[in-house]
Chain A
Amino acid sequence: MTGVTLSANERVLVKPKLSRDDWQMRSVMIGIGVLLLIGIILPLYTMLSKSFENKDGDFIGLANFNEYFSTPALFYSGVNSLTISIIATVIVLSTAFLYAYALTRTCMPFKWFFKLVAIIPLLTPSLLGGISLIYWFGNQGVIKDLLLGNTVYGPIGITIGSSYWVFPHALMIVITALSITDARLYEAAEALRTSKVKIFFTVTLPGCKYGLISAAFVIFTLVFTDFGVPKVIGGNYNMLATDIYKQVIGQQNFQMGAVVSVILLFPAVIAFTVDRIVQRKQVALLSSRAVPYQPKPSNGRDYTMFVFCLVVAIFIIAMLGMAQYAALVKFWPYNLTLALDNYNFDVMDGGGWEAFWNSIDLAVYTALFGTIIVFIGAYLMEKGRGFKTGRTAFHMVAITPLAVPGMVLGLAYIFFFNHPANPLNFLYGTMTILVIVTVVHFYTVSHLTAVTALKQMDNEFESVSASLKAPFYKTFTRVTVPVCLPAVFDISIYLFLNAMTTVSAVIFLYSSDTTLASVAVLNMDDAGDTAPAAAMAMMIAYTCAAVRIGHVLLTRGISKTTQAWRGH
């Protein structure tokens, strides 16, 4: 070897030449990144600065915050939000844990039924629970005596209604946490003659600890930031999310709305941070060599769990069932004959059938464009070479929306897009802005789903393609997308369902031409047309259920036709 040894400071750093692929991948990723910047970071920034300004736009420091904390009514809604969220977290977390435990660790019969019932709340707007509660426990409710004279309009209603709709969100996290266990841990514990109780506390609980923490924060954040349930059944009990609505829509006090938004943002950001940390630890627990746990029958435990799950299932079905019944009843409670009168939306205020079709449009566009943008963005971020700073920055921006409650996002959009100086001002009041806000609102979960699917693909695919001189888009369309098709469909269904049911972000952004079904539910309920509101909520539920069934069939069809190469 004749190489001359050079001292460190004489050596010249190799500056890698970028390939055409690198240029293209980076520019498209930066393009999507800029869209996200406009869709989340700039609006948030505008809103934050608004909270430090007076009505004329002058900087006044913390004066708005001072005013907020010295106005008892406003301050107490924060306390209320906190109280309700904590109570709901305790209730939902323990229920979800037992329910998930029954599904994963027992030989309880009819598991398929309980799994099916548990996802019902995902198919309905969060408002539906509130409406059902009115019919069960409201002033003319069927079993209002069970409340012993307490009113359902307030903390009780909000707690029950919130618990109903956040249940499946928590359940899914806990099921995942309980599923990733190693059966050999249990075999080892039993071989060491550990008692069942001790196994539960030394193996089961520590194993799903992170899942439970994560679920607790998700429940807390969802309830804390939810707008639908307190709006419908909150009565005079004020919560932060309804405060924003009142400040902005009712009193046109945008500055105070921004202040409340900032306060709403705090716990959400904390929850988000904790969740990120916890997720990372959870992954470390996974070992590819783990043996899946197979529960053994145990009559006593199995039937106790069965009864428990049945009670939960009956509760969920009762919520949905009552909404359906109320939607069909002619005039509650005086004329209980069934008819379709309440579905005649065009004769009511709130948007009519057009609102429903608008929602379908929104859901389709959101699913279509959202999936394309999310998946391409995740691909470029995950599989691009070099440009580490850019890719990390992209990831940071992509996970930000998860920390931003819908109400806050919607309000931030008003501040940003409605500003006369904003060249994007023309978007205000259009369907486009509704699609944008919905994609952004649900961006993070979709992004993480795509990243997970992409991480499972061999990184060397890109290396091999480069060595074969194949441009990246060829490998992307011919290999990556077909292999990740199940994940792509998961993302689109997630976006579709959420676009159908969401209220919080869009409530600030719809115009008379773009009223949505979920907004119509809210407005009809507000106007006292509770039965038509229930009917519209049911329309959303039918649509979501149909799309969900279609998704299952489609996924099944794909796995059949691709069985040859998926290998199982």
Chain B
Amino acid sequence: MTSAKTPYLTIQNLTKKFGDFTALDDISLDVYENEFVCFLGPSGCGKTTLLRAIAGLDIQTYGTVIQDEIDISALPSSERDFGIVFQSYALFPNLTVHKNIAYGLENRKMPKSEILTRVKELLELVGLPDQGDKYPAQLSGGQQQRVALARAMATSPGLLLLDEPLSALDARVRVHLRSEIKDLQRRLGVTTIMVTHDQEEALTMADRIVVMNQGIIDQVGTPEEIYRSPRTDFVADFIGTMNFMPGCVVKKGHVLVGATTLACDTNGFDKGDLVNVAIRPEDINAQDISDKDSADNTLAATIDSMEFLGSFYRATLAKGLFGGDLNSDHLLADFSINLVRRKNVLPNSNLKVAFPKDLIRLYPVTS
């Protein structure tokens, strides 16, 4: 890496074992100051384990964690500098909102009047200025999570850890709180790590996403990088939707899928390599059947069925698109409402689809 910045948090060769099970396998990662990083992956991938290791709640078996140039690898939670928000909110039920937020401040021997001002400030920050005297049970889920956030931020920690903070909330509240948390993080500039299994959450909130799978990091990158250039077929499949077709590199710049040769970038592969040919549904373009200038990678397709998804249709293309003995090619293609209306696309109708050369990605076949 050529980055001149020093990372705020460095994780080196971190391994966590639970008995014989390896939950995290030799993880290394840098997080920079003011950054919003998301750990994204399916359940059981180790993302929460990694967060808990960073927090010192479940200390790793091997490896180092350095925060703000201090080696905190073996320190207990109470000697680390972080604020944490859990999916369950974990608000103290018998204390008012005010007392919940003040809880950490009292332990710093802060004078009462200062605590009062600080709590007021925090309540305003999270948009709950008049709710200080209520108990958590009297608030909605979204409000409770804001209180939890205020409590975590009260002591101005250097690192904010969010463990699936939005997963217990309604879809609508979730979307709303998503932008609020992001906004708050930007204003306060606190280095933040959030664990989530929701790709949309990660894509919209994170500066960088760490995609994890089975205890290892598959890819680290900005949301665009992760979505546009997934490094592995797992990332490609997990984030967004991806069509996969078995293929074989026939010569430089060309792969054979079924009986059809597609032009694409074959960098990193040799002739004769078996590959997984991948393309996203929204990257498959519909063209008029009469289009004369049929470019590379254009095929005549029949629509098998269509699924209405609000702003667009997801069409399943009929089998046999690529010819040959390729039978599993149930391709998905997204068509905008506009296009469907204009071209009168219906199940069983025919149209030409193009597979843009630059948007096709190849992945090695994993046995």
Q: Name B103's contact: one of A13, A21, A468 (CB within 8 Å).
A: A468
> Distance in Å from the Cβ of A471 to the closest Cβ of chain B?
8
> Distance in Å from the Cβ of A9 to the closest Cβ of chain B?
11
Q: Name B95's contact: one of A4, A460, A478, A567 (CB within 8 Å).
A: A478
Judged by a CB distance under 8 angstroms, whether A294 is at the interface is no
Judged by a CB distance under 8 angstroms, whether B184 is at the interface is no
Contact A468 B28 (CB under 8 A): no
Residues of A67-92 contacting chain B, CB below 8 A: none
Residues of B36-89 contacting chain A, CB below 8 A: 55-57, 59-63, 73-80, 82-84, 86, 88
Judged by a CB distance under 8 angstroms, whether B340 is at the interface is no
**In the assembly, what is the distance between CA of A461 and CA of B88, in Å?**
10
Judged by a CB distance under 8 angstroms, whether B12 is at the interface is yes
Contact B103 A470 (CB under 8 A): yes
Q: Name B76's contact: one of A458, A466, A471, A482 (CB within 8 Å).
A: A466
Judged by a CB distance under 8 angstroms, whether B152 is at the interface is yes
Given A5-B13, A12-B62, A474-B107, are A464 and B1 neighbors across the interface (CB < 8 Å)? no
A463 closest partner in B (C-beta) = B57
> Distance in Å from the Cβ of B297 to the closest Cβ of chain A?
36
Looking at A458, A468, A471, A475, which has the most chain B CB atoms within 10 Å of its CB?
Answer: A468
**In the assembly, what is the distance between CA of A471 and CA of B93, in Å?**
18
Stretch at the interface among B130-138, B228-236, B255-263: B130-138
Given A1-B30, A464-B90, are A11 and B13 neighbors across the interface (CB < 8 Å)? yes
Judged by a CB distance under 8 angstroms, whether A146 is at the interface is no
Judged by a CB distance under 8 angstroms, whether A562 is at the interface is yes
- Please, what's the 1-or-0 string for B127-162, where 1 marks a CB less than 8 Å from any CB in chain A? 000000001111000000000000110110100000
Contact B104 A482 (CB under 8 A): no
Interface size class of B (residues with CB under 8 A): 35 or more
Given A21-B78, A470-B104, A483-B94, are A565 and B88 neighbors across the interface (CB < 8 Å)? no
Contact A479 B62 (CB under 8 A): no
**In the assembly, what is the distance between CA of A564 and CA of B136, in Å?**
9
Judged by a CB distance under 8 angstroms, whether B29 is at the interface is yes
A15 closest partner in B (C-beta) = B74
Residues of A435-488 contacting chain B, CB below 8 A: 458, 460-461, 463-471, 474-475, 478-479, 482-483
Q: Name B138's contact: one of A11, A468, A564 (CB within 8 Å).
A: A564
**In the assembly, what is the distance between CA of A16 and CA of B58, in Å?**
9
**In the assembly, what is the distance between CA of A15 and CA of B73, in Å?**
9
User: Chain B: residues with CB nearer than 8 A to chain A?
Assistant: 1, 12-13, 15, 26, 28-30, 55-57, 59-63, 73-80, 82-84, 86, 88, 90, 92-95, 103-104, 106-108, 135-138, 151-152, 154-155, 157
16 residue pairs of the A-B complex, CB under 8 angstroms, read A1-B28, A5-B13, A17-B76, A19-B79, A385-B76, A461-B92, A463-B90, A466-B76, A467-B104, A468-B103, A469-B78, A470-B103, A475-B92, A483-B94, A565-B94, A565-B136
7 tightest Cβ-Cβ pairs between the two chains A and B: A567-B137, A468-B104, A19-B76, A3-B28, A466-B77, A565-B135, A460-B90
Given contacts A19-B76, A385-B57, A565-B94, could you give 10 more A-B pairs where the C-beta distance is less than 8 Å?
A: A1-B28, A4-B13, A6-B13, A11-B15, A18-B76, A464-B152, A466-B57, A482-B94, A565-B135, A567-B138
